[in-house]
A and B are shown apart, each in its own frame.
Chain A
Amino acid sequence: MSIFSSRRSHRDPALAARFPGLRGLEIAAAAAALFLVFAACFPTLLAPFDPLAINPADAFQAPSAAHWFGTDESGRDIYSRVVHGARPSLLIGAAATAIGLGLALLLGTAAGLGGRWLDFGIGRILEVLFALPGLLLALVFIAIAGPGITTSVVAVGLSTAPGYARIIRGQIAQVRSSPMVEAAVVLGRSPARVLGRHILPNALAPVFVLGTLGLGQAVVWASSLSFLGLGAPPPAAEWGAMLAAGRTYLGTAWWMTLFPGLAIVLAAACSTVLGRALQRRAVSR
């Protein structure tokens, strides 16, 4: 949420000029994001080993030339597992973000266009969802629906929806009362045309930005659920599940915890930097 409320300052060109290093940061984030997406699409091109092949003789090897990130309790290569983990981890995050944004679009558009009572009703629904912030809503949902990958994806999507919905509603309300829409109405355009040609395209512009900004948070939350034993089950090469396995051996095999976590941090940081870059461009346009 905080990243969204800081939006106003991006309209200030002087402020952007104050951060000359920002450009370099954005290029680095774009490169890292490309790398992660490449790893998710073609893991076998980057990973030298099978992520699931068990080799007990090689268990608990520290990072070396043969195993860059070391090996885990069954002798599996951590580097290969981190690379192969990109696909499930990013897919889970993307699916959760899509669910959250989809739900938010439905609620936000209905609230922004549907008149006072609908706006009031949806506002109350959002208030209820906001009252169980972050993982709490996800956990309550899992308590009802039971653990597993699918429920954890829906749970994370559900927890992100109210924040998106509030922003989309605000955007629609703003466009709706703009002179442009007023002019279209005065010119006698049909409501459907005003909605389809003027309100929706303008109001939905931030959705792409929100998705990019929110993807990192969704990856973090989904991996948190896996870490807590409520998402992807342990043998899977998913970053959160790898960290859950590493927790037992924290004292002896630090590499089992360090590297999958770094991958999550990288994904989340890329999503923030790229999201903010898109946001600045969308606003200045």
Chain B
Amino acid sequence: MADQLKPVRWVLAKVLGAAFVLWAVATLIFFGIRMIPGDPAEAILGGPGSQASPEALEQVRRDYGLDQPLLAQYAAQLGRLIRGDLGDSYSLRMPVADLIANQLPGTLLLSALSLLVAWLLALGLAGWSTLNGRAAGVVASGLEIAAAAVPHFWLASVLILLFSNSLGWLPPVNTGSADGLILPVVTLALPLAGFLGQVMRESMLAAMSSPFALSARARGEGESGVLFRHALRHAALPGIALSGWAFGNLLSGAVVVESIFARPGLGRTLLNAVTLRDIPLVTGVALVSALAYVLVMAASDVAERAADPRLRTA
């Protein structure tokens, strides 16, 4: 009976947790922006440089409810958010929800591809170094540290220099075609592979010297057989546990990568919104990113249990 209730309680706890996170993000931004000196009506009309007339400012204050008491504005804002209305962007004069719906698929595709490539690179390097002894381990360790230390914005520039300007193989900016995705994906995947590789390789090495690997060898299994049939699963575990963190790393990196490669996406939208201080758009992107992050975290919990039987009995 208790076991049947457990998943229900788990889902309920996750939903409540997500709702709390979204409420907190919306509340922090709402009150944060009002603690900063400056006229919100002026911001709506394009900032202090816009030279808005007093009549126009008065009009905006009435239209956006800025003449209401602060708590009434807050309640109205929360009410709109609960109904799924993210408001209109100050800079683009479009519903924020539509803008985000247009931008989200590009970022999700970029993140998913990058995660896949990062996993393949990290596992490949771990497997290669495990089968090739000490020197390979040092090489792999050095490669991982270097890859993890490389900032996205610099890697993107160097890749453009190499593959677009010198070799002319790939387009330097988004052209809408599939080969425009290669450089952005590599830019996001390499540093992530450096981080993931460090943990995956250590986990793989530990598995290779464990009793179950020894007994597999005693049964006559070759080194690569032990690696693929036994150690690979152990190397994947920390990767799964870190996939929520990895997704966050990709969302954060997408801000830089999308703006360098001129790709439409959530990150570039957020950067533009921050530069123009378009608060409804910033709030919208922050809420959608937070929701996506919470969902991925929950999914990685489930995946971790599915991949590691030891967690289920515990």
Contacts and interface: CB of A to CB of B under 8 A. Distances in A.
Contact of B255 (A6, A136, A216): A136
A19 B134 contact: yes
Interface string B182-208: 000000000000011011001101100
Contact of B195 (A2, A12, A19, A247): A2
Contacts of B135: 21
Contacts of B152: 224
B198 A3 contact: yes
A136 B270 CA distance: 8
B273 A19 contact: no
Contacts of A14: 209
Contacts of A130: 248, 293
A2 B252 contact: no
B36 A268 contact: no
A146 B36 contact: yes
A133 B271 contact: no
B155 to A, nearest CB: 8
Interface in B118-160: 134-135, 137-138, 141-142, 145-146, 148-154, 157-158, 160
Interface stretch (B52-60, B74-82, B213-221, B274-282): B274-282
Contact of A131 (B36, B165, B260, B294): B294
Nearest to A131: B290
B300 interface: no
A5 B137 CA distance: 19
A15 B256 contact: no
Interface in B267-314: 270-271, 273-275, 277, 279, 282, 286, 289-290, 293-294
A135 interface: yes
A258 B252 contact: no
A205 interface: no
Contacts of A22: 138, 141
Interface residues of B, number: 66
A145 B33 CA distance: 8
B199 A2 contact: yes
B92 interface: no
Contacts of B270: 136, 139
Contact of A216 (B134, B149, B277, B286): B149
Interface string A112-147: 000000000000100110111111100110111111
Interface stretch (A62-70, A192-200, A227-235): A227-235
Interface stretch (A74-82, A182-190, A249-257): A249-257
Contacts of B199: 2, 5-6
A251 B150 CA distance: 21
B251 A133 contact: yes
B20 A230 contact: no
Nearest to A17: B134
B297 to A, nearest CB: 8
Nearest to B239: A2
B251 A134 contact: yes
Given A19-B138, A140-B286, A257-B158, A133 B21 contact: no
B151 A134 contact: no
A136 B247 CA distance: 12
A147 B276 CA distance: 10
B157 A272 contact: no
B238 interface: yes
In the complex, which of the residues A220, A243, A246 has the most CB atoms of chain B within 10 Å of its own CB atom? A220
A73 B289 CA distance: 38
Contacts of A53: none
A18 B195 contact: no
B249 interface: yes
Interface stretch (B24-32, B61-69, B95-103): B24-32
B161 interface: yes
A200 B195 CA distance: 30
B145 A224 contact: no
B21 A127 contact: yes
A237 interface: no
Contact of B242 (A1, A127, A128, A258): A1
B259 interface: yes
A92 to B, nearest CB: 14
A150 interface: no
B289 A19 contact: no
9 contacts: A2-B245, A127-B17, A131-B293, A133-B293, A134-B248, A135-B253, A223-B153, A250-B165, A265-B149
Interface of A: 1-3, 5-6, 9, 12, 14-15, 18-22, 25, 124, 127-128, 130-136, 139-140, 142-147, 216, 220, 223-224, 227-230, 240, 243, 246-247, 250-251, 254, 257-258, 261, 264-265, 268-269, 272-273
Given A130-B248, A135-B256, 20 more contacts: A5-B238, A5-B241, A9-B203, A18-B205, A19-B138, A25-B141, A127-B21, A132-B289, A132-B293, A133-B293, A143-B29, A143-B282, A144-B36, A224-B151, A228-B271, A254-B161, A257-B154, A261-B151, A265-B149, A265-B154
Which 3 A-B pairs have CB atoms at the shortest separation, nearest pair first?
Answer: A133-B248, A134-B252, A21-B138
